[in-house]
Amino acid sequence: MKTMRKFGLGLAALLMPAAAFAQDTSAPDIEMWRLDCGTMILSDIGPFSDGHLYDGETGTMTVGCYVIRNGDRYLLWDAGLSGQMLGTSVTQWIFTLSLDRTIADQLGDIGLTPENITFLGLSHYHDDHIGQASDFAASTLLMNRRDIAAVRDQEMPSAQAALAPWISGDAESVDFGRDHDVFGDGSVMILSMPGHTPGHSALLVRLPETGPVLLTGDLYHFREQIENYGVPVFNTDRADTLASFERFLQIDQALEAMIVIQHDPGDIERLPAFPESAR
C-alpha cells in the first residue's frame, strides 16, 4: 500500500507543470462564517426515523447557512427559509418555522452584498435550503444535476419558483452528477450523498487552522442519527441514504474532520459565533 502511494505521487510529479508546485507552497486563503437562516420547532420528530426510533418526541432544529471565502471568491452553502417568513411564524405539518434575519442582511455585517457571492451551493431542493436562493440570481448555481432535474420535471411549485432563474436557463449553473471541486483547488468539495433527495450533497471545507469541516446538508438532522442510523420516512431512497452514511463517516475518520450537522442546535457552537469566522 505504501509503495503504491509513493508511485502515485511520483507519477503526479512527472505530469504536473512546474507552476503547479509554485502555487502549492501557499495554502488557499480560506475562512467560513455560519449564518442564522431560521428556526424550526417540531411537534413530532417521529417522521425522522422510518424505524420508529423517535416516535412521540418533539424537537427544535436550527437552519444554518454558511459563507466560505477563498481568496476573493465566495460560496454561499444553502439558502435557508424564505425571506417572506421574516418576523412571522408559519406552521406547516409538524414544523413551525420562523426567520429573524435574511441572508442578505447578515452579509452586510461582514461587508458583503449578494453580488459578492460567486457560487450558490445547495445541498438539495427542500424549501428550508433554497428559501432565499432567488436573492442570489447573479451567482452561479452549484447543485447536483439529479436534484435540478427533479425540480424541473416533478410537481414542486415552491422549489420551481425559488430556483426559477436557473431552471429557466437565465442564470448560470454548473452541471455535475458526483462530487464537485468548488474553487478548483480541492479546498472546498461538494460531496455526493444521495438518499435524502436523488442529488443530495454534503460539503467538505478544508480550513487552514481549524482543519477539515464536514457540513452535513440533511444527511443527518441531529446527532442521534449518527449513532442509531435514523432514516427519515420522507427520504427518496433508503439504501442510498445508508450508503451515504457509510461514505460520510469513512471520510470523517480518514480526514479526522469535524462534523457540523446543519439542523442541530447543539452544533452551532462548533463554529465561531457570527460575525466571527472560522479560519
Interface residues with Zn ion (CB under 5 A) are 128, 218
State the cell numbers at 120.
450558490
CA distances 214 to 24, 70, 218, 266, Å, are 23, 17, 12, 15
Q: How far apart are CA 149 and CA 136, in angstroms?
A: 20
* DSSP-derived secondary structure letter, 278: B
CB of 196 to Zn ion, least distance (A): 8
CB of 27 to Zn ion, least distance (A): 32
Q: How far apart are CA 45 and CA 230, in angstroms?
A: 11
CB of 195 to Zn ion, least distance (A): 14
Q: How far apart are CA 43 and CA 125, in angstroms?
A: 23
Q: How is 214-233 classified by DSSP, letter by letter?
A: EE-TTS-SSTHHHHH----T
Q: How far apart are CA 152 and CA 262, in angstroms?
A: 26
Beta carbon nearer to Zn ion, 106 or 262? 262
Beta carbon nearer to Zn ion, 21 or 234? 234
Amino acid code (one letter) for 52? H
Beta carbon nearer to Zn ion, 244 or 277? 244
Pairing between β-strand 95-98 and β-strand 73-77 as defined by DSSP bridges: unpaired
Beta carbon nearer to Zn ion, 93 or 209? 93
Q: How far apart are CA 81 and CA 129, in angstroms?
A: 6
CB of 19 to Zn ion, least distance (A): 42
Q: How far apart are CA 106 and CA 112, in angstroms?
A: 9
CB of 262 to Zn ion, least distance (A): 7
CB of 267 to Zn ion, least distance (A): 13
Beta carbon nearer to Zn ion, 159 or 207? 159
State the cell numbers at 55.
416516535
Beta carbon nearer to Zn ion, 38 or 165? 38
Beta carbon nearer to Zn ion, 112 or 248? 248
CB of 276 to Zn ion, least distance (A): 24
CB of 247 to Zn ion, least distance (A): 20
Beta carbon nearer to Zn ion, 128 or 135? 128
Name the residue among 47, 75, 28, 81 with its Cα closest to residue 201: 75
Q: How far apart are CA 90 and CA 96, in angstroms?
A: 5
**β partners of residue 92:** 95
